Amino acid sequence: MDEWGSRRVAVEFESEGAALRGFLYETVKGEPPFPVVVMTHGTSATIPMVTDRYAEVFAEAGVSALLYDHRNLGISGGEPRQEINPWTQCRGYRDAITFASTIPDHDPKRIGIWGDSFSAGEVFLVAACDARVKVVVAQCPTFGAVPPDVDPSPGLFQEIRETFESGDVSGVPGDTIGPIPVVSPDQLGTPSLLQPIQAYRWFIDYGGRHGSGWQNQATRVIPSNVAPYSPYLCAPYVTAPSLMMVAPADEMTGANADVSRQAFDLLGGEKAWYEIGGGHFGLLHYPSSLFEQASTVQAEHLTRHLLR
């Protein structure tokens, strides 16, 4: 690891044949060994687009934050560029947890995971499949526009876990959407992956800033030849204490608040439900009162369950 500033350290680890890159925000509060929260962003975003601000808050509260870009995005490696595959991203979390467990002066038995939007669904699949996860924080999670047309079951969950661990998740023809713009102001003329105007405004603002590394193009692959990718179907098998932060007026159809509530009710472990204003993107504006509210509540959840 190469030193980056007084507290932020550049890191790199391997996942699915690619180098995932990011930073360790090492806490200066308390004594080692420190707990760690593994973090990454939502659809197509990159580290400088606000997730780094959350990492800073958590480190200041006493929990080091391992923050990285998803495979194929930002400063991480991987091909094809800008491709988003939820199974591959879930495995990135798994490999980040493995890496976090090797960081000197940090406790491999006190590791949490954090996600936003699409990644906030992924953290529940990961937590269900990986017993090393000791706490979960999910903001504006994506469980789907409607619940799955099948009920959770041990057999189906076993299929999901086997796919997560070792299945072929490359997909088949017809599983791919894109390349397509991530956002667009004109859905009739130039359809995009994320359609609400609020998505366009946030991504153009934060992604358009110098040094963000964001690109307004993505390809999404949801493999149909394996177990269904469904954090919802994994919810009953999550035993780690979980905070689900939900915007009742969420504009993103995949982050339907009613579906999130149903998934929350299925969670198998200790859980906390927290409603926040501002829609899907309100708590991603920094500085803002919504960011302060969200990051404070999340830091309290992490410290309650990870600090001794």
CATH number of the CATH domain containing 122: 3.40.50.1820
- Looking at the domain assignment, is residue 13 inside a domain? yes
Q: Which residue has the tokens 């915007």?
A: 247
Which residues of the chain register pLDDT less than 70? Answer: 1-6
**Are 240 and 127 spatial neighbours (Cβ–Cβ below 8 Å)?**
yes
Domain count along the chain: 1
What 3-state DSSP class applies to 235? Answer: helix
pTM value > 0.85: yes
Q: Which pLDDT score, from 0 to 100, does residue 308 have?
A: 73
Contact present, 300 and 272 (Cβ < 8 Å): no
What is the per-residue pLDDT for 289? 98
211 inside domain: no
Please give the residue range of the domain that contains residue 144.
Answer: 2-168+232-306
What's the count of helices (H) and strands (E) in the chain, helices before strands?
A: 8, 12
- Give 144's DSSP letter: -
137 strand-pairing partners: 114, 243
| 226 within a domain of the structure (yes/no) | no
Residue 57 is assigned to a structural domain of this protein: yes
Is residue 177 assigned to a domain? Answer: no
Residue-level pLDDT at 5: 33
Residue 155 in domain: yes
In a domain, 39, yes or no: yes
Element holding 164 (H helix, E strand): helix 154-166
* Alpha-carbon distance values, 92 to 70, 85, 113, 235 (Å): 7, 11, 12, 20
Residue 189 lies in a domain: no
Residues 52 and 295: their CA atoms lie apart, in Å, by 11
